[in-house]
Amino acid sequence: MAFLEGRNLRKTYNRGKSNHVDALRGVDIAIEAGEMVAIMGRSGSGKSTLMHILGLLHEADRDGGPAPELYLDGRSVAALGDRDRTAVRAREMGFVFQDFNLIPTLTAIENILLACSYAGTTGVPARAAALDALGRVDLAERGHHRPAELSGGEQQRVAVARALAHDPLVLLADEPTGNLDERATWGIFDLFREINVSGTAVLFATHNLDLVRKNPGTRVIEIDHGNVVFDSASSGAG
């Protein structure tokens, strides 16, 4: 079994009696430990929905077909309750989003410490982990700055540090460079490569083909209309 594996993943969003969107139509996907994977597709293709289901932020639909299955590190996590899903996310997964999602009233280090507390780490160990994470993203000197005092690239680096502070098994990033200029984009992607080389699986959703072209070891999975239409691992590409 793969490190992160989903089967029969479906998601429909109902927007009225006669208006529904089939975001995922029965996707099967398997990610190996330590892989770098780009989830690609046009806006509305279903790639963000897939990322959110793999990251236990949303649940796959259980009606309309075979029961969905989701496994993380050999454990079934598809049927976990809200509390257990939250615990798995906090302790074993790291998330980076396009809009950074930093709490504006907290400093960089306080944002990271909050994530550490969700993962069950507090006090001196949490502060040590937060400082180490800031060092990994080259922001050791900016820990006492609030988000408004940081550039967009720096805010995203704080978000990456927050995701790394508890040494997650997998890092999931949904359009993480969508709000960044070119220089900041490559800085964030360089971080992802370093994280991946250290052994962490990295999944990122993106429209940016250059991120893949300039890192040929990246596995590419393309989503269109809720289906996987290309996977470089099975095609022999990449």
Q: What is the pLDDT of residues 128-156, one digit of tens each?
A: 999 999 999 999 999 999 999 999 999 99
Host H or E run for residue 49? helix 47-54
What is the structure's pLDDT at 127? 97
Token pair in block for residue 111: 């944002």
Mean pLDDT over 57-79 rounds to 94
88: confidence class by pLDDT, cuts 50, 70, 90 = very high
Average pLDDT, the chain: 93
The CATH number of domain 4-235, selected from 2.40.10.10, 3.40.50.300, 3.30.160.100, 3.40.50.150: 3.40.50.300
What is the structure's pLDDT at 91? 94
Say what percent of the chain tops pLDDT 90. Answer: 84
Mean pLDDT over 88-105 rounds to 95
56: confidence class by pLDDT, cuts 50, 70, 90 = very high
Mean pLDDT over 119-130 rounds to 96
pLDDT at residue 108 greater than cutoff 90: yes
Token pair in block for residue 138: 């080259």
Phi, psi of 148, deg, nearest 5: -65, -20
The DSSP symbol for 104 reads T
61-72 burial, b at 16+ Cβ within 10 Å, e below that, comes to beeeeeebbbbb
What is the structure's pLDDT at 213? 86
What is the structure's pLDDT at 133? 95
Cα–Cα distance for residue pair 100/94, rounded to 1 Å: 13
Q: In this structure, are residues 174 and 52 in contact, taking their beta carbons and an 8 Å threshold?
A: yes
pLDDT at residue 234 greater than cutoff 90: no
pLDDT tens, 168-218? Answer: 999 999 999 989 999 999 999 999 999 999 999 999 999 888 888 888 889
237: confidence class by pLDDT, cuts 50, 70, 90 = low
Q: In this structure, are residues 189 and 177 in contact, taking their beta carbons and an 8 Å threshold?
A: yes
pTM (2 decimals)? 0.92
What is the structure's pLDDT at 1? 81
pLDDT tens, 1-51? Answer: 899 999 999 999 987 667 788 999 999 999 999 999 999 999 889 999 999
What is the structure's pLDDT at 164? 93
Say what percent of the chain tops pLDDT 70. Answer: 97
- What three-state secondary structure class fits 155? helix
